[in-house]
Each structure stands twice: as structure tokens, then as C-alpha cells.
Structure 1
């Protein structure tokens, strides 16, 4: 505790004059003010000492973290196509303009390496900057069939923007090694996943238009690629006018403000959704992706991306198609199940589990 102010305080106190009245001795106004100031300083000092000693706060780090949090808060205030002053309408006229710019753009991801080559599928994987371990685990396991984006299956990890320069730099360095990241300048938050979806669809129709099918998934999902290819072959006609996966035809908005999936009355005034195919993994044709991208300009923004896609599907007169094997949960692990024809996706599979599953063989 720094007590260097005490001698100065004593000197000032003695300089304050004590005046005498006939009946009593009074402390001058100077002394009174000074005493209150001293008491205040003592209290503040004691509180500071207690905070530092008992809560073990590193003040420089605390101030730095505070500044970073303020920046993040300011970025998250970004209101772009999302301001809702009245209940969200079901349709609009060119109200949702996806006018963000690429920060990282890998044109080579859909490059054809010979005249006879085709791209059967492009996979868009939603991730965050901090999830490098998840991305590496996926690259080492179920993405190995892509042959580093040179086979008939291609993929990309999708990101928005963040304020932290250090993690931005790490992602830039990662992309220089793998060349498999797409990033635009919208703020990368859960509330902005619809922007990420539209970014994926825009990329599919402008830079990978020769791909036949599109899969959207997350970085904590196991995808059984051989099983998925069989589904695409079987459902190829259906997918020209449908989105397929773990689809639900009846769902109600969550009105609990504490929920991850909260939707206010203003953002969605209806009592039920038009259904949705879980964003943990859904597949469709590039034809449908093209139509969704175009119709989205007239469908007001909604923050739950899989519900938003269903809104566009309903507007187009297309349908949601439930396919067995797409799971928005994690079924108990059985290598013969996970590598057979009856499971396509499994959700909430962390990196170490993903690698373990991949290295376990079916013995029956």
C-alpha cells in the first residue's frame, strides 16, 4: 500500500487555521474539507488493496480486456438490414441486400484440373476464428476425400470479421497453408449466421456454379461422405426443388430471452415457423441455392439461419425433405453405424472424439 501521501496530508492539516470563538473552538472550513478528502482517499485505497489481493486482477490486462470488450460491443451493435422497429413483415421489396466484401477469397477452391473433371459437391463449414483445432481435426478425417480441394468434392470454412487482431492474423496464416477459408466483413456472431449462409450461397453460384450439390454444416459435426454421396445419387431429382436433412415441419418460436434460439415478437410475429432443416447439416442442389440467393433479397432478415432458409423455400414454393441419417444430435458411437449407409451426420463431436471415431474400424 502506497502511504507516501500521509506526510503531505499532515503538513496541509497543520497549515489549516483553527479559529476560536468565545464559547468554542471550531475547525476551519479548510480543515473540514481536507479531513473528508483524506477519509475518501483511505476508503478508496482500502477497497483497491482488497480487490487486487483477493480477486487477483492484473490491472493492465484488465484494462486491455475492457478495451477489447468495448470494441467487440461496438462491432456487435452493427445494424445492417436487421433493425426492427415494427413487427417483421413476411416479404419486402429489395430490403435484404447482402453487400459485404470478401476479406479472404479463395477462387482456387473450385478450380477444375482437367477437362473431364466434375464437382459433385461443395461443403460449407461454419466455424469461428478460435476453432483451429476443430478445423484441423476435420481436415485430417472426413475431409480427406477432397484431396486438398482437388477431387470431385470441395469444401470451405466460413468466417465473418472480428476485432481481435491477433486471432485475425492466426486465421490469415492458417489460410496461407490450406487455402480453404472464405471470409467477409460482417461481424462474426451467432446473430449474424444468416449473413454467413448467404455468403456461402453467393460463393456457390458465382465461383462454384459447376458444383451439382451444396452441403451446409458446422465444425462440430461428423459427416459420412460415402453415405452422403449415395443419398445425393438417390435424391438428385428431389433436391432440384427441396432442401434435405434433419428437417422439422412444425416448430414454434422460442420466446425465452435467455435462450440461444430466442426470437422476439418483433423479429417474428407469428406463432409457428415454416419448419426448418437443422443447420447442423442440410443439403440441396446448386439450382435451389441460386433460387434462394435471389429470393432472399425480398425476404426480410431473420437471425436463425436454418429458419431463414426455410422461409425462402416456402416463398419459392419448394419443400423441406427429411432424410433418415441426418442427425442434429450425436447417436451413440458404433463404427459400423458411423461408417455405414444409415448415418450421414452426427452433431456435437469434439475434435479428439472425431479423430478417435475416424481411427476406429468396423469389425463385423
Structure 2
């Protein structure tokens, strides 16, 4: 049989053994069209599956019991900078929006219990569903100063959404017990930490506008609350137009794809960042948080949250302000240091160590005339 474009599908079927070589089969035009249509559907399906597996996508999570398997599949796709086709611009016009919805919204966290009460500080803690042990350790230690969100210091743990139904139920139960979790329906991944800080700022300026200052930190950080309050009092004017902490005024993008902080040239087409204050712990005022949230719509999305905050600050004409005592690492433990005035944060402190630090008092000997 002579192979032409019209008989090519038939040739494939012969080669695959669908029709025997000795079979005498006459194929009508209608049958040829049908076979071509089937082959086209197969090809389109395969190409579509390949394309979806290589897309950069971030869809809100659906809580409907009838959510489709396709949505679930898309939720599991990892966001990759390398899929950006054109270099990221430095500015835009209303190109970025944080339009996610609350899944858990604990308004009680900023409730005032008498007419004279003020909120000096709200602490916003990045965490993940799996880290209940870390959250409990923080509640048992340095969050004691909040008096379960009834004192002049308030706090919240911040989450995005996950597919694991059991994890979601555990967090919902935890929230009912402690009333200290905020959660929105963006996918909770490292690549989406910028959405998490936007959620934090949005919550603060809308639900807790009377809070004077904000601390953003992580669930593996020791925070010296008495020392921090002294810093806030000392730097209160500077923090009206600055973000402060362990700040760096010069830093270069990590171009190695294996790096946790990898940024492709397309996602950030410059040789250096505008600086940043380490996301392990930085402070600012409610005023600055409001300005950052407002200006963010004109600052294209960038996945590294602390760098993105610095980009917004630069556009506002505000600054990064380095304060001694904010540490990106973990200084050797000395209870007199950790509970004194010279250390504000210590990073990478496991939950067992955190509890041990909290229960250890400073017993350093002092000369009699200094006591």
C-alpha cells in the first residue's frame, strides 16, 4: 500500500499490528477523518500534559468538596523562576495584587480589653502546618509576654494553604484552642513568602491599625521581648520611615539553581539587590507596613520576601536601618546575653533548646557594690 498523508494513520495501525498485513480492508474517507481526529486528540493531550507540568502557576485553593483532580494537581506544581520568559521589570502599573481570601481569621488577636489599653507591638511569625511543636515551644517561652494576646504585645502565626487534609484539620483545631493563627488560600511554599508578608501587613493595617510597631520573624527564632521593647522606644522616630534589623545594604543574587535563594536572571536581571533586612527578624511601624502594602501593586512580584520588602522601601524613598542585636545566626548561649539588652534575636534555635534557654536564669556573680 502506498503511504500518503491521507493513509498515514492507516500505515501506523498496520505497523502496530491492528490490521494484519493480509487483511483486505477498504477505508472510507469518513473512517480516515475519524482516525486522524483520534490521533490529533492523543497528540494534543500529550502536549497539554507536558505544558502543564512546566507551567509557573499559583492558584487559590478550593475548599469545595467537589474540587477537581486537575486543581489538586496544579496545586502541587512547584513554582520555578526559570519559567519566566521575559526579564522582570523594576516597576509596573497595578501589576501585582494580593487578592487571596482568609481561611482562618482570628479578629480577637487585636481586641482591646479596656479604654486605656494600647498595643505597642504585634509579632508576625512565619510558620508551616507541620511545625506545631515549634509553635507550642514559642507559646511556652517568649510569647508569655503577650499574656495570650491580652497584653500590650500581640502575636500571630501565619500560614498559607496545603493539600494535606489531615494537616488542615490539625491546624484548624489548634486555631480553635489558641485563637492565634491567620491563614489565607495561597499555596504555602517558600516561593510564596512574599504573599505571606503581604497577608501579614494587610491583616495588621486592617485588623490591628492601633498597633504601633510590627516584628516579622520565624518559628525557629528566639526573641528577647524586653530588649526589643527598649529598641522600639529608642528608635521609634526612625521606624516611621524605615525597616530595621539585621540589614545588609549590598547583596548579590544567587545564580546557582541549587541554592535555596536562587534567583534567575529573568526573575531579577540585575547584579545586586537594593539590600534587605534578614527575614529572620525585622521591625517597622504600622505606618511603613501600610505604605509597603499600598505601593506593592506597582512593584512586580519577587519571591524572596525580605528582598521584596526592600524593593518597596526603595520605591517609597524609605531606608533599611541596621540595629545591633538582631542576629541571622545563633550566638553561643549565655543566659545573661540572651536575657540582657545586647541580643534581640537568635536564629535556628530548636524547640527543645528554646525551652531550655527560657528556663535558664542569669546567675553571673556581681561585685557586692553593684548589686
Instruction: Give the TM-score normalised by structure 1.
Output: 0.79
Q: Distance in 2 between matches of 1:119 and 1:209?
A: 9
Matching of residue 221 in structure 1 with residue 213 in structure 2:
no
Q: Distance in 2 between matches of 1:328 and 1:140?
A: 23
How far did 1:100 drift? 0.2
Q: Distance in 2 between matches of 1:81 and 1:257?
A: 9
- Pairing of 1:1-364 with structure 2 (within 5 A): 74-77=74-77, 84-364=84-364
How far did 1:82 drift? 11
Taking a change above 3 Å as real, the CA distance of residues 221 and 201 of structure 1, as seen in their structure-2 partners, is same
Taking a change above 3 Å as real, the CA distance of residues 169 and 82 of structure 1, as seen in their structure-2 partners, is farther
Runs of 4+ displaced beyond 2 Å: 69-74, 76-85
Checking the alignment, whether the CA contact within 8 Å between 1:81 and 1:97 is kept in structure 2 is: no
Q: Rg bigger for which structure?
A: 1
Taking a change above 3 Å as real, the CA distance of residues 309 and 83 of structure 1, as seen in their structure-2 partners, is farther
Checking the alignment, whether the CA contact within 8 Å between 2:194 and 2:303 is kept in structure 1 is: yes
How far did 1:267 drift? 0.3
Taking a change above 3 Å as real, the CA distance of residues 125 and 267 of structure 1, as seen in their structure-2 partners, is same
Aligned to 2:21: none
Aligned to 1:53: none
Aligned to 1:17: none
How far did 1:77 drift? 3.3
Residues matched between the structures, number: 296
How far did 1:74 drift? 2.4
Q: Distance in 2 between matches of 1:350 and 1:214?
A: 24
Checking the alignment, whether the CA contact within 8 Å between 1:81 and 1:301 is kept in structure 2 is: no
How far did 1:158 drift? 0.2
Instruction: Give the TM-score normalised by structure 2.
Output: 0.78
CA RMSD between the two structures: 1.9
Checking the alignment, whether the CA contact within 8 Å between 1:222 and 1:347 is kept in structure 2 is: yes
Structure 2 unaligned residues grouped into runs of 5+: 1-68, 365-371
